[in-house]
């Protein structure tokens, strides 16, 4: 069960990363000051994190997936409600919905995987 949650957390992070890279490249977010480079960093960081979650069977990378998903959602909603670095985002569109679902899933499955890995670690040390 832990490995399934790890896989789903990694897939969620990777999906969010691909959406951000697509928005950066195809939707021309690279032209937006500050936000463009942040989208690129989010996409590249998500790919690295997704690979780490799948290759390193430890609670640390899945906790990173939780943080990635939570922070990305938080900053998205700050951008929707107040604006962020001069950009006021809308909460509509396939990219926004798909990315949010992926980020919420990264949080849920990351927490489940981290808890399972932590419990397994605790059981081995007894």
**How high is the mean pLDDT in each 10-residue block of the chain (126 residues)?**
96 97 89 92 97 94 97 94 87 89 97 90 63
CB 5 within 8 A of CB 116: yes
pLDDT at 88: 86
Q: What pTM, to 2 d.p., does this model score?
A: 0.91
- Where in the sequence is the domain holding 54, given as residue range(s)? 2-125
d(CA 61, CA 9): 10
| Predicted local distance difference test score (pLDDT) of residue 29 | 87
Picking from 32, 10, 38, 46, the residue whose alpha carbon sits closest to that of residue 87 is 32
Into how many domains does the chain fold?
1
């Amino acid at each position: 069960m832990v490995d399934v949650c790890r896989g789903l957390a990694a897939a969620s992070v990777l999906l969010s990363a691909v959406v951000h890279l697509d928005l950066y490249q195809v939707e021309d977010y690279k032209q937006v000051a500050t936000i463009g480079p942040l989208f690129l960093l989010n996409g590249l960081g998500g790919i690295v994190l997704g690979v780490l979650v799948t290759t390193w069977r430890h609670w640390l990378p899945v906790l990173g997936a939780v943080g990635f998903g939570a922070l990305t959602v938080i900053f998205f909603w700050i951008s929707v409600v107040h604006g962020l670095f001069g950009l006021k985002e809308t909460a509509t569109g396939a990219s926004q919905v798909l990315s949010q679902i992926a980020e919420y899933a990264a949080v849920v499955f990351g927490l489940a995987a981290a808890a399972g890995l932590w419990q397994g670690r605790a059981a081995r040390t007894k």
